[in-house]
Amino acid sequence: MSTPAPQVKEIPYDKIRAVEWETGRLKLIDQRILPARLEHLYLDHLLDAAYAITDMVVRGAPAIGVTAAYAVVLAARDRYQENPNGWQKAIQPDLELLALARPTAVNLRWAVGQMRGVIYSGIVGDPVPRLLSEAQRIHAEDIAANRRMGELGAALIAKDSGVLTHCNTGALATGGYGTALGVVRAGFAAEKIKKVFADETRPWLQGARLTAWELVQEGIPVTLIADSAATYLMKQGKVAWVIVGADRIAANGDTANKIGTYMTAVAARYHKVKFMVVAPTSTVDMNTPDGSKIPIETRAEAEVLNFGGTRTAPEGVQAWNPAFDITPAELIDAIVTEKGVVEKPTREKLAALMKKVKN
Q: Are 85 and 135 in contact (CB under 8 A)?
A: no
Instruction: Based on the residue annotation, tell me whether 247 is a catalytic residue of this protein.
Output: yes
Closest to 199 measured CA to CA, from 181, 211, 189, 187: 211
Q: Are 16 and 219 in contact (CB under 8 A)?
A: no
What are residue 150's phi and psi, to 5 degrees? -60, -45
Question: E strands of 74-219, at which residues?
Answer: 161-165, 193-199
> Rounded CA gap, 302 and 312, in Å?
10
> Rounded CA gap, 122 and 108, in Å?
23
What are residue 175's phi and psi, to 5 degrees? -70, -25
DSSP per residue, 167-183: S--BGGGSSSSBSHHHH
Q: Which residues pair with 311 in a beta bridge?
A: 306
> Which amino acid is located at 40 in the chain?
H
Per annotation, catalytic residue among 247, 254, 325, 333:
247
Q: Which are the catalytic amino acids?
A: 247
